[in-house]
Chain A
Amino acid sequence: MPNTEIITKLLARHDTWRGQSQKPIQRSVSSGQDEIDRLLKGGWPAASLTELLVQRPGIGELSLLLPTIKYYCQNNHLSVWLDPPYQPHAPALATAGIALQKVLIVQSKTHREWLWVAEQCIRNNALLLAWSERKAPSYTDLRKLQLAAADSGHVAFLFASSKQLPASSPAALRLEIDSVDEKNLRLCVRKLRSMAPGEQLLIPRGKNLGPQTSLAKLPVNNIHPQMPASTDIPRIKTAEQRLNA
């Protein structure tokens, strides 16, 4: 008689591949937005490395992670930003609800130091956000980080440029982010464990634009060709309009 207990345990493990099954068998951390959770079948995969490949840095990839960072900081974990390209702006983080004492920015000087810091952070239960400008990490480096993440059971994020897409990588999730036009950001799943690649999602950018002035009055000629003129503030010409406004 087959031993069902062992088989059940095996099937419950997160690294057993079940062909044709649509049910997600891996634990995941919610990303804070429902559409992304649906795209990734639950959220960012826990206990593994996630690679975010961006077409150009600064198109909106970090704001996708803000809810996850907030969740980790609330649960008393450090979030380590390794070699960020620019300086993180404290008021923006404070507005997003992230405790600033839990954010640590680390600058490394050599590639070996970068790798050491990344591995230490993952093994010590900190949330890692790593940028690698100096030298793209090789397959062995990524495998080391993936194993560290699997041991500690947390998520870790690595930012790279889309040129790294053809290189193979052991990360559990590879998400390509690029901007189709100014209105939308496109996420394309290039690799996700137990799922066929290729699914896409369009995320509209934030509509919150701040206080506006009449764009026609700007000192520089800059009305975007795609923005309709009706979004401009109406001009008050007659006394009646002034009274009614």
Chain B
Amino acid sequence: MTLPTAAPAKSAYPEKIWLYLHFPLLPLDALLDDLKDQQQHQNPVAVICQEKNILRVLCCNNSAKQSGVEPLLSLSTALALCPDLLTMRQQLEREKNAMQQLALIAYSFSPGVIIAEQGLWLELSGCEKLFHNYTQLLQKLHQALLLQSTNVDMGIAGSADAARLLCRSGFRCELPSSAELEQQLKLTPLSQLNTSRRQQQSFYQLGLTCLGDLLALTRTDLASRFGTGIVEQLQLLLGEKPCQMARFEPPATFHDLLQNPQGIFSKQGLLFPMKTLLQRLSLYLQARQCYCRALEWRFEPLLGEPSSMHVTLSGSQNSWSNLLDLSRLQLERIDLPASIETIILSSDNFVDGIPSGVDLFGTALLGTALAEEESSEAAQLMDSLRARLGPDALWQPALGRNYFPEEAGTVVVPGERQQLRTAHRGLQPLWLLPKPIAIQIRHQQLFWRQPLHILSGPQRLCDNWWQNNQQRDYYLACDNQGSRYWLFKQSDTGRWFVHGLFS
């Protein structure tokens, strides 16, 4: 009899797995859209910032590094080292936007995302089941992040601060074992801790060089010697205290823009940036689990008035390809300024998504699924018709509250619900003339295009006497060939009108 083999040891992490992602070239990536040419990516590029009246290099790409340019060099030195260096000014707004985009991407992998200055923390302990194992999760995350940023460094540990301390360059898709982690933590030099200069000096004088030495001392000694700040830091590092930083939440409205300094001259050229923006919108909608009801596009030229375009949706589509089709259809109808420099997409009209129904026994409700599919098809058809023809080309018949035919059958904008239904008895024609047409009497015979003969007798309809003191007697009439008409005679003036056609 063989003994059952022991179950493989579960991951030795106590509760949490924290992943720290560092984006060293974030200022450069944020400005990448400005470099349209692929070739320009190969040229040395650096981002500069101003520090106390000196322009310094903030970060630079690999080809610049090969020429010897490094961060913190002054601009003149950098230009001397590398004459054809392309320099760009740091733009904090765009860095923030780029960081928000990265946070949204990370949010689709894990619910606990925290934003740091040039990095992100992700908390991965609950996400294993969705991705089957951590390796796959990390691989997919790496692929998703590469679309936005060129360089990602990462560190994994059991607590957030430790993950930051252990951040190394390169992206590894394997979780390190806890023994390795402990080893690495112990060897971290103390200069990387967040302590004052005085404390660093006292560490040095005491002969404490790395974290392992600090951990060998007792906590009470540390507290009495260096203050409770150090003890708290150690507790955060070792995961004994939970991380208190605020989590990332997707913002309540969506606002994004793309800039093209060279200007876009044709509607065809607009489609690619619009597609990028719509893909970001669909990522945001997925993160917030809602549908969008209205979009606003703004096209701003270098000189002149911006033009904007509203796309209204029935709220049942999320996919960026449908949104792109609708926007394209509507784009054909508007005039654009000559050369467009900035494209802005914003939306604040969202409606929560309703998950498709599954009843108690797990069987999907077929009826509702089909009905939802078909009504979403109808909604899509209405959206595309509205986008192509304009909103004033679509109508729906609706019952009105009065008995008078022109109010009883109105046409309204589609989608409005009818509140009251009055019961209409008697014959009702299929076609109504919106304005009744007066008919003549020739030789004592009613005449409208042809002589008319009355078939059946009057039905009197009165309007609200306080609004309109009209009384009408409605008759059914036919002509020689048999088409039937709905006539009425106004009781006060005695004039005859045609109001409807039976078809």
Report, as a range, how many residues of chain B touch the other chain.
35 or more
Other-chain contact of B388, A59, A116, A183, A205 (Cβ < 8 Å): A116
A59-B481, A60-B483 known; A215+B501 contact, CB < 8 A: no
Question: Do A124 and B453 touch across chains, with their CB atoms under 8 A apart?
Answer: no
Other-chain contact of A126, B370, B378, B388, B396 (Cβ < 8 Å): B378
Other-chain contact of B482, A59, A78, A90, A94 (Cβ < 8 Å): A59
Name the interface residues of B463-484: CB closer than 8 Å to any CB of A: 476-484
Question: Do B418 and A100 touch across chains, with their CB atoms under 8 A apart?
Answer: yes
Question: Do A90 and B378 touch across chains, with their CB atoms under 8 A apart?
Answer: no
Answer yes or no: B374 CB below 8 A from chain A CBs. yes
Chain A residues whose CB sits within 8 angstroms of the CB of B375 once the complex forms:
76
Question: Do B457 and A210 touch across chains, with their CB atoms under 8 A apart?
Answer: yes
A87 to B421, CA, bound (A): 19
Question: Do A113 and B457 touch across chains, with their CB atoms under 8 A apart?
Answer: no
Question: Do A221 and B405 touch across chains, with their CB atoms under 8 A apart?
Answer: no
Chain B residues whose CB sits within 8 angstroms of the CB of A88 once the complex forms:
397, 409, 430-432
A211-B456, A222-B446 known; A113+B389 contact, CB < 8 A: yes
Chain A residues whose CB sits within 8 angstroms of the CB of B434 once the complex forms:
87
A60 to B482, CA, bound (A): 9
Question: Do A85 and B431 touch across chains, with their CB atoms under 8 A apart?
Answer: yes
Other-chain contact of A213, B385, B446, B458, B477 (Cβ < 8 Å): B458
**Closest B-chain residue to A208, C-beta based?**
B427
Closest 4 CB pairs of A and B: A213-B457, A182-B482, A90-B409, A209-B456
Closest approach, in angstroms, between the C-beta of B458 and any C-beta of chain A? Answer: 6
A174 to B380, CA, bound (A): 31
A222 to B479, CA, bound (A): 11
A94 to B422, CA, bound (A): 10
Answer yes or no: A243 CB below 8 A from chain B CBs. no
Answer yes or no: A117 CB below 8 A from chain B CBs. yes
Question: Do B385 and A212 touch across chains, with their CB atoms under 8 A apart?
Answer: no
Contact mask B399-410 → A, CB, 8 Å, 1/0?
A: 110000100111
Name the interface residues of A45-62: CB closer than 8 Å to any CB of B: 55-62
A180 to B395, CA, bound (A): 35
A156 to B445, CA, bound (A): 41
* One of A8-16, A28-36, A102-110, A136-144 at the interface: A102-110
Q: 5 interchain pairs (CB within 8 A)?
A: A93-B397, A116-B388, A117-B389, A209-B455, A215-B457
Question: Do B503 and A62 touch across chains, with their CB atoms under 8 A apart?
Answer: yes
A69 to B382, CA, bound (A): 18
9 further contact pairs, Cβ within 8 A, besides A104-B382, A120-B385, A184-B482: A58-B501, A62-B503, A86-B431, A91-B409, A104-B395, A106-B394, A108-B389, A179-B481, A224-B454
Main secondary structure of the interface of A (DSSP, over half): loop
| Residues of A that sit less than 8 Å from B by CB | 55-63, 76-78, 80, 84-95, 100-109, 113, 116-117, 120-121, 124-126, 179-185, 205, 208-215, 218-224, 227
A120 to B399, CA, bound (A): 28
Question: Do A221 and B444 touch across chains, with their CB atoms under 8 A apart?
Answer: yes
Chain B residues whose CB sits within 8 angstroms of the CB of A218 once the complex forms:
454, 457
Answer yes or no: B428 CB below 8 A from chain A CBs. yes
Closest approach, in angstroms, between the C-beta of B289 and any C-beta of chain A? Answer: 26
Answer yes or no: B377 CB below 8 A from chain A CBs. yes
Contact mask B405-417 → A, CB, 8 Å, 1/0?
A: 1001111001000
A121 to B394, CA, bound (A): 13
Answer yes or no: B384 CB below 8 A from chain A CBs. yes
Other-chain contact of B396, A60, A105, A108, A125 (Cβ < 8 Å): A105
Closest approach, in angstroms, between the C-beta of A19 and any C-beta of chain B? Answer: 38
Closest approach, in angstroms, between the C-beta of B133 and any C-beta of chain A? Answer: 43
Answer yes or no: B119 CB below 8 A from chain A CBs. no
Closest approach, in angstroms, between the C-beta of B333 and any C-beta of chain A? Answer: 11
